[in-house]
Chains A and B, each alone.
Chain A
Amino acid sequence: MRKGFGSIILDVGFRHLTPFLILYAVYVLVHGHYGPGGGFQAGALLGLAVVLGRVVQGQDAELGIGLSGGLVLACTGALIFLAIGLASLLWGGNFLDYGVLPIASAPAEARALGILGIEAGVTMGVMGVIIIMFDLLTRRGERE
């Protein structure tokens, strides 16, 4: 979307809404152990924060993560997921068996931290994919 809908009311609403949206996404990610939520929902919320800015302010939005930024985010998220899974293979457990990772003294603590790392990877991947989808749907084609 090259030009946003950009009225001043939308702009002020976007500026006041986005910090709470991002804070809520981080809460959903971190609190995913104990309640509803988790990596996918947090990533979708973060992606929607970026997409909201793109809809309201157009191409040069603040929080302007473009197509290449989205690609980097999505691939880094997938890489984090794979790296944690393979690291637990490397330390002698099964794939995604976080209990054997040497990141904490107790296996239960290592498992919690490993799940948090996986969820962070999923969050980055989903956020990147939502930004990529929005960019591809709204960019101008080469023929125009």
Chain B
Amino acid sequence: MMELIQVALLLIQVVCAVIALTSRDLMVAVILFAAFSFCSALLFTMMGAVDVAFTEAIIGTATTVFYVAVIYRVERGSSK
């Protein structure tokens, strides 16, 4: 059961990473990066590294806030 959940989380991570890298909209990339970070926090918790998971969750939130604050000021996506 745990292995199934871990495989599902890893698949979600791969999909999030690929879409975030290929997307032209920066907001989409940032939100998918937040989802990626949350999945890593869950995986760290399953592996028993609660401290690392805690740090990952907090820093994922903080970097998301920073990226959104920057996107608020710059052009949101390329026109191509």
Which residues of A are interface residues toward B (Cβ below 8 A)? 1, 35-38, 40-41, 44-45, 47-48, 51, 55, 130, 133-134, 137-138
- The minimal Cβ–Cβ distance linking A48 to chain B, given in whole angstroms, is 6
Contact partner, B66, options A35, A36, A37, A133, Cβ 8 Å: A133
A55 touches B62 (CB 8 A): no
Docked pose: A130 CA to B61 CA in angstroms? 12
B80 close to chain A: CB less than 8 A? no
Docked pose: A47 CA to B50 CA in angstroms? 21
Of the A-B pairs whose beta carbons lie under 8 Å apart in the complex, a sample of 18, sorted by A's number, is: A35-B50, A36-B53, A38-B51, A40-B55, A41-B54, A41-B55, A44-B59, A45-B58, A47-B62, A48-B58, A48-B61, A48-B62, A137-B69, A137-B73, A138-B69, A138-B70, A138-B72, A138-B73
- The minimal Cβ–Cβ distance linking A42 to chain B, given in whole angstroms, is 10
B54 touches A134 (CB 8 A): no
Docked pose: A37 CA to B55 CA in angstroms? 8
| B contact residues around A45 at 8 Å (CB) | 58
Docked pose: A1 CA to B70 CA in angstroms? 10
